Amino acid sequence: MGQTTAIIDRLKKALKENGKTYQDVAQHLRLSEASVKRLFSEKQFSLRRLDQVCEMLGIEISDLLREMHTISHISQLTVEQEQLLVSDAKLLLAAISVLNRWSFDEILAVYDYSYTELIGCMARLDAIRLIELLPGNRTKALVTYDFKWIKNGPIQRFFEGEVQREFLNCRFDQPGEIRLFVTGMLSRNANELIQQKLKRLIQDFRHYHQEDLTLPLPERHGTSMVVAMRPWELEVFGRYRRDESKKVFR
C-alpha cells in the first residue's frame, strides 16, 4: 500500500505541475468527477487507468517511479532530529510551516524572522533531510503521506506539555470548534471496535489535510484534534470501591 500511495501522490503532483484538474482527468477517462476523486482518495487505480492518465500528461508510468526514487522520503525522524527541533522554537515553527505547504515568503510575511534567519532554518531542515531547499527559496517536504512523530518522543512530549494545555483552555463554542465527552460501560470487544473507528477518523483527517494542501494559504486554517480513550474511573469515585474491586481492566 505504501508504494501505491507514493505513486498516486506523485501522479497528483504531476497533474498540478501540468495545470490539470480532476475534471480534466474525468473527461479523459469518461468518468464523473466524483468517481475520479474517489479513485484518488481510495488509491484504487487499475494499471490501465493509471497508464491513461499518464498518457494524458505525456509521461510514462516509469517516469513516476523514477521521480519517486530520486529523493528518498521519510516516515519518521530520529530522536536526535526531533530533539533538535524542540530545542529551537523558530526552527520547529519553520518545520511545521513547510510541512503544511507554507511558502518561504508566506512564513516571512506572517512570522518574525529576518530573511537570513529563515534561510538558516531552511538550511538546517535541509541538512536533516526533512525538506529539500530549492532555488528561489522554494521548499519541498521530504516526508511520506503517513509521516508521524515518534510515539512518546520529543515532539509528542512537547505538544503534551505545552500545546495540550493551551488547546484545552477554550470554551469550544465558536464556529469550527467542538468538544465532546462521553462515558459509559463497554466490553473489551466494544472498546476495540470504537478504537478502530477512531483510527479511521484520524486517517480521514490526514486525507483531507493532504487534499487541502493544494489550496491557497488564506483558504486553509490550522486545525487540531485530540482523540483519547481509555478505561477510566473518576478518582473521587474510585475512593469508594471495595478493595476486591479496585482494579479496572487494562
CATH number at residue 47: 1.10.260.40
Measured in whole angstroms, the distance separating CA 106 from the mean position of its chain's CA atoms is: 20
pLDDT exceeds cutoff 90 at 92: yes
More confident call, 9 vs 87? 87
Do 96 and 49 fall into the same domain?
no
Contact call for residues 155 and 148 (beta carbons, < 8 A)? no
Average pLDDT estimate for 29-42:
90
Contact call for residues 131 and 123 (beta carbons, < 8 A)? no
Indicate the residue among 12, 46, 69 that finishes a domain: 69
Q: What is Dmax (Cα atoms) for the chain?
A: 73
* Range from 129-138, 146-155, 182-191, 237-246 carrying the lowest mean pLDDT: 237-246
Whole-number pLDDT of residue 6:
76
Question: Residue 153: which domain range?
Answer: 72-169
Do 61 and 110 fall into the same domain?
no
Do 54 and 85 fall into the same domain?
no
Whole-number pLDDT of residue 169:
87
* Range from 10-19, 80-89, 147-156 carrying the lowest mean pLDDT: 10-19
pLDDT exceeds cutoff 90 at 72: no
Do 105 and 35 fall into the same domain?
no
pTM value?
A: 0.62
Do 193 and 239 fall into the same domain?
yes
Do 37 and 62 fall into the same domain?
yes
Average pLDDT estimate for 19-36:
91
Do 78 and 64 fall into the same domain?
no
Whole-number pLDDT of residue 247:
59
**Angle formed by the axes of helices 47-57 and 61-68, to 10°?**
90
Do 144 and 185 fall into the same domain?
no
Do 100 and 165 fall into the same domain?
yes
Kindly provide the b/e burial profile for residues 84-95, where b requires at least 16 CB atoms within 10 angstroms of the residue's own CB. bbbeeeebbbbb
Indicate the residue among 132, 147, 169 that finishes a domain: 169
Three cell numbers at 87?
Answer: 530545542
DSSP 220: -
**Angle formed by the axes of helices 2-17 and 47-57, to 10°?**
20
Average pLDDT estimate for 167-191:
91
Cα dihedral sign, 107-112-118-124: negative
Number of domains in the chain: 3
Residues 115-134: tens digit of each pLDDT:
999 999 999 999 998 998 98
Indicate the residue among 169, 186, 204 that finishes a domain: 169
3-state secondary structure 133-192: EEHHHEEEECECCCCCCCCCCHHHHHHHHHHHHHHHCCCCCCCCCCCCCCCCCCCHHHHH
Do 133 and 180 fall into the same domain?
no
DSSP 208: H
Average pLDDT estimate for 132-139:
89
Do 64 and 91 fall into the same domain?
no
